[in-house]
Amino acid sequence: MCVYVKEHTDDPFRVLAPNQTQLLSSLSSLSAPGRELPPICSDVRQKQRISIDTLPPEVKAPFPSDPVIPLRTKTTKEFQEDVERAVQSGDWREVREFYLTTFDSFIEINAAFKREANGVFNTIDDSGVNAKFVNAVYDALLSTPQDIQKSVLKGIINSLLREWKGPRTKDDLRAYLILVQNPQYSSTSTYVIYAHLLRQIAALSEADHHFLVHWLKKLSARRFRQLVERLLQFISTRLFPAEPDELPPLAKCSWWIPSATKVLSLFNAANSVSSPPIMPFTDFYNITLEHIDFMEEYRTWQNYGHSNRFSFCQFPFILSTVVKKAIIQKDSEQQMISQARQSLVSKVSRRQRVDMNLLFLNIKVRRAQLLSDSLDELTRKRCDLKKKLRVTFVGEAGLDMGGLTKEWFLLLVRQIFHTDYGMFTYMKDSRCHWFSSWKCDNYSEFQLVGTLMGLAVYNSIALDIHFPLYCYRKLLTPPTVSCDQNALVGMATATLEDLQQIMPELAHGLGELLSYEGNVEEDFYLTFQVFQEEVGLVKSYNLKPGGDKILVTKQNRKEYVQLYVDFLLNKSIYKQFAAFYHGFHSVCASDALMLLRPEEVEMLVCGSPELDMSALQKAAQYEGYSKADTTVRCFWDVVLAFPAELQKKLLHFATGSDRVPVGGMADLNFKISKIDVPTDWLPISHTCFNQICLPPYRTRKELKHKLTIAISNAEGFGLE
């Protein structure tokens, strides 16, 4: 017997011997001249989030007819009984025959696992696979004798190497769906076979991927997670194998990682189109990638049109927020250096005296006029926004090594978001801020808030800001500023679920309108006109031309809700948000923003409010003290027993911010130092260095009293 295989090259057919070792060797040799994976899209930077679900529900392109499938009648119960008898008797012949036959070809796979052998299952809603039977067969596989497990792998090799021409049939897609669930791929000894399976799936057409995505989302949550974790482990092991000779040389199988990542993107798409998601998006992060040269990945991605080389940045869902933050920081540093260099070169070329202040964005403000001074400074120094930020408070002796910058951000944010100031409305039900809809002639203060957020990300400062997630989605619409000055910004598609984040009571009322079964026209008596209170006056707005004369009915109520939600979240605050958007992007004008989800932008801007003082204790460093000293032990006893509010004050006292950075408490490099002063002194902090200095307090009571006073009165340098 010979198995024929057509490689995806110009070479003619090759004959492969049926011996398993030779098959594996030959299979591995296919890697070098392999078929290139299809590009993600024509412009990877504008469309790098794969939008598989944008295809129509039914793809109407003609498909080849499915072959006639032999009838197999074994049920899940019968199979489980066969396995149970084999375990008890030691006679595995019947089970062996089942596995040997089932995985020998795509036709046999369908014969075993398709609910109806020759049934037509050509929709995205139903794969036609008997999932219960698939689970039973795979759950039993790893407990069978080794020869059975090897026969399954041999059958899969035969299945993958069989000749095929033209587009894939739905039975082929079903076979891929079943094969990718094989638990044997958890072992590195099967990675060559697994890689070729992934390669074939990755190289399928976009229409085929569309079907697979919707079939994958029907898997059980447990199975779905197992497959995602297996793919992540495959990528990690290929990058960093435990043994040098464990896998083929990377140069000979460079397509392994692109193939696996592309298949993983199908799972990510399936997760995204599921409501609710099957697993958190953070579970798709591959932490191993924090140890690669991610800036090289970023540069490769930016130059994609020239090299067409694979980059993990094409698939940003796999990169953790830590990696994305590092990319943005490095990109920011390069822009800062470039700005400073240009300023220096300009001075030198004109033979002017070089002032080292040219290297910084110097902000000089009075505490009493904090907002107006900050607005003036940022407006005057707009060209310096991408330089390193340095803040000076007039009349104070503090030298900004980072701490004054943090305090400036904190005080400014408090003032801007105060309810008396009126720029933002605090929504009590949702505990978040939203843009006030009042109209004015100058929206520069909204631009200031956007600039502040951009500077915070640019300078790695976490802000205590409470915007809904939808705000960050608007901020990424689009993720980069268009060259067209008239292009709309921030007009993200708004849904009732988005309104629920901000105005839950109103969203509930609109939901009731949509589900109302009575006479909508007579009972609600609504028109396509809405009213808003602005600075004490009630103003009316038509949601569509002539809206005040159009009654809301059962037939048009969905349109009414869509227009109303869009009005509230987009149109009524367009000028405010546009100023805010341009302020943010005037600082964070980076391609790296395209890698981020709205949730990740929120993390970069705000950090995390969740404090883990035990993690801070584990990461703490000591100078003059050791962790066994009485003062240190008393300190941690007190801090761990503090209520959350005092813990936040302590963090602000020591670091200048009460938020936790993206990398967690360990990223703070928190240090406790000893100062040889009398114990009636209060603790001292150096927020520039995230350092707290403690006198040698001898009792827990004394330390708690002094520390509480210090952290409750920590604002300013006291030299007014």
Tens of pLDDT, residue by residue over 268-315, are 999 999 999 999 999 999 999 999 999 999 999 988 766 778 999 999
Confidence (pLDDT) at 530: 95
What is the pLDDT at residue 46?
Answer: 39
Mean pLDDT of all residues in 586-607: 90
The domain over range 613-712 is classified in CATH as 1.10.260.40: no
382-396 average pLDDT score: 88
Cα 469 to Cα 452: distance, rounded to the nearest angstrom: 18
For residue 224, the model assigns a pLDDT of 98
pLDDT given at position 120? 78
Which amino acid type is present at position 681?
Answer: W
Helices (H), 187-241: 191-202, 206-216, 221-239
Q: On the CB side of 303, how many CA atoms lie within 13 Å of its CA?
A: 8
φ, ψ at 5 (rounded to 5°): -140, 135
When comparing pLDDT for 14 and 105, which is higher?
105
pLDDT of 165 reads: 57
Q: What b/e string do you get for 215-249 counting C-beta neighbours within 10 Å, with b at 16 or more? A: bbbbbeeebbbbbbebbbbbbebbeeeeeeeebbe
Token pair recorded at residue 194: 């697994």
Kindly state the average pLDDT of the residues 58-69: 53
pLDDT at 119 over 60: yes
**Residue type present at position 373:** D
Fold category of 290-492+570-607 in CATH: Hect, E3 ligase catalytic domain fold (3.90.1750)
How many angstroms separate the CA atoms of 113 and 120, rounded? 14
Confidence of residue 329 (pLDDT cuts 50, 70, 90): confident
Residue 305 CB coordination number (10 Å) = 10
Backbone phi and psi for residue 352, each to the nearest 5 degrees, phi listed first: -100, 160
- What are the boundaries of each domain within the chain? 66-179, 183-284, 290-492+570-607, 613-712
Q: Is it the case that residue 11 has pLDDT exceeding 60?
A: no
In this prediction, residue 166 has a pLDDT band, given cuts at 50, 70 and 90, of: low
- Residue 395: CB atoms within 10 Å: 11
69, 71, 76, 77 alpha-carbon torsion, rounded to 10°: 180
Q: What residues contact residue 280 under an 8 Å CB cut-off, 6+ apart?
A: none
Please give the single-letter amino acid code of residue 393: F
Work out the average pLDDT over 587-600: 90
pLDDT in tens, 182-212: 999 999 999 999 999 999 999 999 999 999 9
Alpha-carbon distance of 624 to 677, in angstroms, equals: 13
Q: What are the beta bridge partners of residue 537?
A: 534
**400 three-state secondary structure:** coil
What's the average model confidence in pLDDT over 695-701?
Answer: 94
pLDDT mean over 463-473: 93
User: Is the bond into 696 cis (omega within 30 degrees of 0)?
Assistant: no
Give mean pLDDT, residues 69-93.
90
Q: Which amino acid is at 95?
A: V
Q: Tens digits of per-residue pLDDT, 617-647? A: 999 999 999 999 999 999 999 999 999 999 9
pLDDT category at 688 given cuts 50, 70, 90 is confident
Confidence of residue 667 (pLDDT cuts 50, 70, 90): confident
Q: How confident is the model at residue 715 (pLDDT cuts 50, 70, 90)?
A: low
pLDDT reading at 462 higher than 70: yes
Is residue 720 over pLDDT 60? no
* pLDDT, position 23: 42
Q: Does 613-712 match 290-492+570-607 at the fold level?
A: no
Task: Please report the pLDDT score of residue 231 as a whole number.
Answer: 98
The confidence score (pLDDT) of residue 404 equals 86
The yes-or-no verdict on residue 41 having pLDDT over 70 is no
Give the pLDDT band (50/70/90) at residue 36. very low
Across the range 139-166, mean pLDDT stands at: 89
For CA atoms 561, 566, 571, 573, the dihedral sign is positive
pLDDT at 24 over 90: no
Non-local CB neighbours of 619 within 8 Å, separated by 6+ positions: 665, 666, 668, 669, 670
Task: Identify the pLDDT of residue 403.
Answer: 78
- Work out the percent of the chain whose per-residue pLDDT is above 90: 63
pLDDT band, very low/low/confident/very high, at 464 (cuts 50, 70, 90): confident
pLDDT tier at 341, thresholds 50, 70, 90: confident
Tokens standing for 140? Answer: 């039993």
The overall average pLDDT reported for the chain is: 86
Q: Are 293 and 325 in contact (CB under 8 A)?
A: no
Local confidence band at 58 (pLDDT 50, 70, 90 cut-offs): very low
- Tell me the C-alpha distance between 446 and 584, whole Å: 10
Amino acid 167: pLDDT:
64
CA 461/CA 79 separation, integer angstroms = 60
Per-residue pLDDT reduced to its tens digit, 228-260: 999 999 999 999 999 888 899 988 899 999 999
- Mean pLDDT of the region 658-662: 83
> Distance between alpha carbon 113 and the CA centroid of its chain, in Å?
35
CA distance 374 to 379: 8
What average pLDDT does this structure show over 91-108? 94
Whole-number pLDDT of residue 116? 83
Mean pLDDT, range 549-576, rounded to an integer = 96
Query: Could you give the residue numbers annotated as active site?
Result: 688
Segment 46-74 mean pLDDT: 51
pLDDT at 65: 58
pTM for the predicted model, two decimal places: 0.81
Residue 659 exposed, middle or buried by CB count within 10 Å (0-12, 13-18, 19+): buried
Please tell me the predicted confidence (pLDDT) of residue 164.
Answer: 62
